[in-house]
């Protein structure tokens, strides 16, 4: 072990690391997470179709992040592994956002104090509950601190500005269309006070945790459905309750003709009350 | 457990890059959860066995049916066990062999497919799924040598070819694609004979369901370990249909109708339709 050439106070060391992480995060585009009447909505400014900032973790849990892609992708994969292992060795209902947020907090905290460089990320772990009151949104920062947020969170370069605006304008029980329009408008604001931008659907990554769905509740929103939700003149204000009809991966809702019935992987049989209905 | 420098944080295996396989992750991080990594006690014992699974393709998909009986020697261990499972949205897996290990393997296989879907953001190809299952059966060879074998039957809807396909396995993990129809388990010989005579190209979904239920009936007729439909207890075979809409299990009232039709056709004519 080499001896330390200069004395650096712990306060200074931590401050330097925090400044470093904050600078990295502030360079990136923002992500907004907010509740709507049927679930939790995630909106990110992200022109990439493949490198996601918002992803599914488990049945009712999703993950959103800003900062360095390789670092939060690493955390996302760890989260999927954590959730799948827990669900496999206990039961699906025993996988909770709180447990995952704690595991992330410990990891980020250890990396912040012990590794040569902190993670330049800020993440949200959200779990959709039976009702809006049971929704949980945890925000985790680069140093491992956790905040239990109510209703909405904004992260990234313009996070503070967007969050202040949400304090005035977000209300519980908004429709998906209204919540999405608000989030997109705020993402387009210039924190430096310049001209507002109008974000096109192709620049957005949008996903929901839909509390009305059985089992896996995470769906991305794209195509015609996203355009219709953003269009004030269309009457579409909510996501369809059934998946797209085209055979294939049903993680994205595009608003095309819905299929006859949803099938969910691993659903052995419909729940008793559903079976009575047909 | 000592509080090392990693106390509380996610262990390194969680943050390792590269693998999108849940089984590989378990092997690295929690091998005791894999059936193939547990030490086996010496000696032999009896454990419940699951029996007959049949599968048949039809125009635009594939149907899989299983009886409900598990046996332990001459004892019926379970009358209403489910042995056909949805593996993911477009495939079903049926199991014959040691029930406890088979069900554990199916559970692991289901998580394996969903885990891949979430990490990669894409569905595995049907061959990819069949090969994953083969490697899980292969890992189980040591247990199979001690009499705890598991032989699955895998069927799914191929999104590329727009049709149903069937894959069979042997205890060494060999994976073979079957044409038209196949059966596994103790009653499989009788079921196969029945399928051979009753299956024809271009069946409709409902016809394929009837053919599969008849094959289970014929297996139960001649194999004591296979359970036939039980009207008194209202236990019907498990029947899964996989087509472009996905996997669905037929509801009990529909199965009851199919079974009653099959039984009526055999009244005074025990060999059934031919």
Structural tokens at position A35: 């509740």
DSSP for B109-125 reads HHHHHHHHHHHHSSPPP
3-state secondary structure B178-241: ECCEEEECCCHHHHHHHHHHHCCCCCCHHHHHHHHHHHHHHHHHHCCCCCCCECCCCECCEEEE
Contacts of residue B8 in chain A, CB cutoff 8 Å?
103, 106, 110
- Mean pLDDT, chain A, rounded, equals 87
Phi, psi of B74 (to 5 degrees): -90, 5
Residue B38 lies in a domain: no
Section A2-10 average pLDDT: 77
Sign of the four-CA dihedral A147, A153, A156, A161: negative
Length in residues, chain B: 274
Structural tokens at position A247: 């055979």
Query: Which residues of B are known catalytic residues?
Result: 51
Contacts of residue B248 in chain A, CB cutoff 8 Å?
261, 263
Candidates B13, B86, B114; nearest CB to A268 = B86
Q: Do B88 and A265 count as a contact with CB atoms less than 8 A apart? A: yes
Nearest CA to A40 among A212, A162, A155? Answer: A212
Candidates A50, A77, A250; nearest CB to B119 = A77
Q: Do B22 and A88 count as a contact with CB atoms less than 8 A apart? A: yes
Within an 8 Å CB–CB cutoff, is residue A48 touching chain B? no
Residue A259 has pLDDT above 60, yes or no: no
Residue B209 lies in a domain: yes
Lowest mean pLDDT, pick from A15-19, A85-89, A266-270, B256-260: A266-270
Q: Do B245 and A111 count as a contact with CB atoms less than 8 A apart? A: no
Section A229-233 average pLDDT: 84
Q: How far is A190 from chain B (nearest CA, A)?
A: 32
Mutate to test the interface with B, among A263, A264, A273, A278 (most CBs of B within 10 A): A263
Q: Do B251 and A278 count as a contact with CB atoms less than 8 A apart? A: yes
Residue B213: domain span: 48-266
Residues B247 and B239 sit within 8 Å (Cβ to Cβ): no
Overall number of domains in chain B: 1
Q: B91 — alpha (psi -120 to 50), left (phi > 0) or beta?
A: beta
What Rg do the C-alpha atoms of chain A give, in angstroms?
A: 20
Question: According to the model, what pLDDT value does residue B8 have?
Answer: 73
Residue B33 lies in a domain: no
Q: How far is A10 from chain B (nearest CA, A)?
A: 18
Section A168-181 average pLDDT: 93
Q: A143 — alpha (psi -120 to 50), left (phi > 0) or beta?
A: alpha
Residue B128 lies in a domain: yes
Burial label, A167 (beta-carbon count in 10 A; 0-12, 13-18, 19+) = exposed
Contacts of residue B26 in chain A, CB cutoff 8 Å?
85
3-state helix, strand, coil in chain B (%, to 5): 35, 25, 35
Mutate to test the interface with A, among B6, B7, B9, B83 (most CBs of A within 10 A): B9
Mutate to test the interface with B, among A48, A219, A247, A271 (most CBs of B within 10 A): A247
Nearest CA to A44 among A238, A220, A225, A229? Answer: A220
Q: Do B22 and A278 count as a contact with CB atoms less than 8 A apart? A: no
Q: Do A249 and B248 count as a contact with CB atoms less than 8 A apart? A: no
Section A171-182 average pLDDT: 93
Within an 8 Å CB–CB cutoff, is residue A113 touching chain B? no
Q: Which residue of A has its CA nearest to B82?
A: A268
Q: Do B29 and A78 count as a contact with CB atoms less than 8 A apart? A: no
Question: According to the model, what pLDDT value does residue A274 have?
Answer: 46
Low-confidence ranges of chain B (pLDDT < 70): 1-7
- Between A266 and B18, the higher pLDDT residue: B18
Crossing angle for the helix pair B99-120 and B22-29, to the nearest 10 degrees: 110
Residues A153 and A101 sit within 8 Å (Cβ to Cβ): no
Mutate to test the interface with A, among B5, B6, B14, B156 (most CBs of A within 10 A): B14
Nearest CA to B152 among B93, B108, B64, B192? Answer: B93
ipTM of the complex: 0.90
Q: Give CA–CA dist B29/B25, Å, rounded.
A: 6
Within an 8 Å CB–CB cutoff, is residue A269 touching chain B? yes
Q: Do A85 and B25 count as a contact with CB atoms less than 8 A apart? A: yes
Section A209-232 average pLDDT: 90
Ordered by start, the domain boundaries in chain A are 22-235
- Between A109 and A253, the higher pLDDT residue: A109
Q: Do A106 and B9 count as a contact with CB atoms less than 8 A apart? A: yes
CATH architecture of A22-235: 4-Layer Sandwich (3.60)
What Rg do the C-alpha atoms of chain B give, in angstroms?
A: 20
Q: What percent of chain B clears pLDDT 90, i.e. is strictly above it?
A: 74
pTM given for the model:
0.90
Enumerate residues 6+ apart whose C-beta is below 8 A from B66.
B50, B52, B53, B54, B82, B83, B84, B94, B216, B237, B238
Q: How far is B249 from chain A (nearest CA, A)?
A: 7
| CATH classification at residue B153 | 3.60.20.10
- The three-state secondary structure class of A36 is strand
Residues B185 and B52 sit within 8 Å (Cβ to Cβ): yes
Residue A169 has pLDDT above 70, yes or no: yes
């Amino acid at each position: 072990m080499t001896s330390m050439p200069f004395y650096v106070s712990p306060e200074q060391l931590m401050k330097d690391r925090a400044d470093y992480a904050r600078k990295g995060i502030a360079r990136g585009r923002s992500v907004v997470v907010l509740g709507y009447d049927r679930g939790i909505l995630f909106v990110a400014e992200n022109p990439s179709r493949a490198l996601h900032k918002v992803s599914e973790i488990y049945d009712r849990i999703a993950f959103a992040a800003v900062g360095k892609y390789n670092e939060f992708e690493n955390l996302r994969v760890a989260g999927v592994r954590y959730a799948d292992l827990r669900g496999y060795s206990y039961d699906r209902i025993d996988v909770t956002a709180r447990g995952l947020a704690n595991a992330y907090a410990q990891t980020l905290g250890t990396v912040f104090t012990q590794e040569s460089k902190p993670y330049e990320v800020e993440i949200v772990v959200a779990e959709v509950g039976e009702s809006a009151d049971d929704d949980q949104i945890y925000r985790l920062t680069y140093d491992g601190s956790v905040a239990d947020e109510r209703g909405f969170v904004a992260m990234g370069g313009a996070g503070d500005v967007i969050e202040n605006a949400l304090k005035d304008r977000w209300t519980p029980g908004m429709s998906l269309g209204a919540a999405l329009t608000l989030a997109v408008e705020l993402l387009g604001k210039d924190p430096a006070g310049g001209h507002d931008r109008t974000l096109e659907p192709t620049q957005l990554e949008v996903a929901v945790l839909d509390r009305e769905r059985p089992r896996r509740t995470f769906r991305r929103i794209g195509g015609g459905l996203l355009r219709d939700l953003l269009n004030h003149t269309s009457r579409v204000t909510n996501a369809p309750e059934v998946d797209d009809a085209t055979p294939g991966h049903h993680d994205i809702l595009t608003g095309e003709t819905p299929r006859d019935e949803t099938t969910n992987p691993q659903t052995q049989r419909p729940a008793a009350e559903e079976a009575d209905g047909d | 457990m000592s509080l090392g420098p990693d106390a509380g944080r996610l262990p390194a295996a969680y943050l390792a890059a590269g693998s999108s396989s849940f089984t590989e992750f378990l092997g690295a991080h929690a091998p005791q959860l894999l059936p193939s990594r547990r030490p086996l006690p010496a000696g032999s014992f009896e454990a419940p066995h699951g029996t007959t699974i049949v599968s048949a393709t039809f125009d635009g998909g594939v149907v899989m049916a299983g009886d409900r009986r598990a046996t332990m020697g001459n004892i019926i261990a379970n009358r209403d066990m489910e042995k056909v499972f949805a593996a993911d949205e477009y495939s079903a897996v049926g199991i014959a062999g040691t029930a406890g290990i088979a069900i554990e393997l199916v559970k692991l296989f289901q998580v394996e497919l969903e885990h891949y879907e979430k990490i990669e953001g894409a569905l595995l190809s049907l061959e990819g799924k069949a090969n994953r299952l083969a490697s899980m059966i292969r890992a189980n060879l040591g247990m199979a040598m001690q009499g705890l074998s598991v032989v699955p039957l895998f069927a799914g809807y191929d999104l590329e070819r727009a049709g149903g396909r069937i894959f069979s396995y042997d205890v060494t993990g060999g994976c073979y694609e079957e044409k038209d129809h196949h059966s596994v388990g103790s009653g499989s010989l009788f079921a196969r004979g029945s399928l051979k005579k009753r299956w024809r190209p271009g069946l409709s979904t409902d016809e394929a369901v009837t053919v599969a239920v008849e094959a289970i009936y014929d297996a139960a007729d001649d194999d004591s370990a296979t359970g036939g439909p039980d009207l008194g207890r209202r236990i019907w075979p498990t029947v899964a249909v996989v087509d472009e809409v996905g996997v669905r299990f037929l509801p009990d009232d529909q199965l009851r109708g199919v079974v009653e039709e099959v039984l009526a056709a055999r009244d005074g004519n025990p060999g059934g339709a031919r």
